[in-house]
Amino acid sequence: MRIAVPTEIKNNEYRVAITPAGAHDLIAAGHEVIVQSGAGEGSSIPDAAYSDVGVTIAPDADEVWGAADLVLKVKEPIESEYRHFRSDLLLFTYLHLAADKQLTTALLDSGMTALAYETVELPDRSLPLLAPMSEVAGRLSAIVGANTLLKPAGGPGLLVPGVPGTHPANITVIGGGVAGTNAAHVALGLGARVTVLDTNLSRLRDIDALYGGRIETVASNAVEIERSVIGADLVIGSVLVPGARAPKLVTNDLVARMRKGSVLVDIAIDQGGCFEDSHPTTHAEPTFPVHGSVFYCVANMPGAVPHTSTYALTNATLPYIRSVATHGWKAAAMRDAALAKGLNVHGGAIANQGVAEAHGLHLTPVETLLT
């Protein structure tokens, strides 16, 4: 199979979809790997590192997309890339289609096949290809939140750990999944008072046991969210419903009642965001004000640490890429139910329930498309 990796062109996106070691693995298995010149530069991976392991370096995006059987990306294609879509093309990347009607329509109209990293799901309901970026985004959320609390960044001028004789910051994390747990981990390490809310009591017990009670765990409901958010200096939203739009858990009215300068970081922004007034921002302009508070809603947070993110992503995706390249996407999906759940679009049909519901489109079961 000809596997092609274009340069990411989303604002301040420096990750690349595969490392030289990952490319070497695929080439050793008999596949051809084509990487656009400069695709790895943002992750501190020069073209030479790819060519040394047998990768073909292509000069531009047209050649990369045109030569591909399988395109590997990190972020969803943006509008200028839609012209590369064709019916015999397979795309494997983060898609987040429930929050992107335009991209969904473009994929459907093209007739191509699209697998989404974020909806590959194991029997235990864990998301192996989303997990590494959730870990990165979760840890980053506490760091960027702490920075945004500084006065020059628009915050109230609060130092998260405080100093002797002063109060540390109160940080509320909504959602105790992979991203939320990592956010709480770093927030606690920074010296904050940390509260985690989740509807899963088993998950809260795990967090309580892991941190010896140093993190307050609260069963999530509207009353507890209100109490925790109003008393917080920093709120981190990390709610996820795989494939579907994120629920809006923090209302505009609730934000209006928070302390002036409080900060809200929405990790769920790729899926539409879990704060009512959230809208995607970029690393170039990451924040915007809402009722005296500051929202940070960057849709590709891990892109700020591309070296770490690229290697973490390839570690997770490579076994699935290898299976798809070796067996073809359909046979690979029939062999692996987790991969089958990654199928979002094929031949003009929607195969993911969350995406279909988000846009009011007809759902075609994955099993129908596989047979």
Distance CA 57, CA 36 (A): 6
Distance CA 216, CA 184 (A): 10
Q: Which of 96, 233, 277, 346 is catalytic?
A: 96
Helical spans, DSSP H, in 239-300:
252-256
Distance CA 45, CA 38 (A): 8
Q: Report residue 53 as tokens.
A: 């392991």
Q: How many residues does the chain have?
A: 371
CB–CB of 355/104 below 8 Å? yes
* Summary count for the chain: helices (H), strands (E): 14, 15
Q: Can you tell me which residue has the tokens 């003009």?
A: 348
CA neighbor of 113 nearest in space, from 332, 367, 344, 325: 344
Active site residue 266: no
Distance CA 296, CA 283 (A): 10
Distance CA 247, CA 348 (A): 27
Q: Which of 100, 233, 266, 270 is catalytic?
A: 270
Active site residue 84: no
Distance CA 114, CA 131 (A): 20
Q: Report residue 146 as tokens.
A: 């702490």
Distance CA 112, CA 355 (A): 16
Could you tell me the maximum CA-CA distance found in the chain, to the nearest angstrom? Answer: 67
Q: Could you give the residue numbers annotated as active site?
A: 96, 270
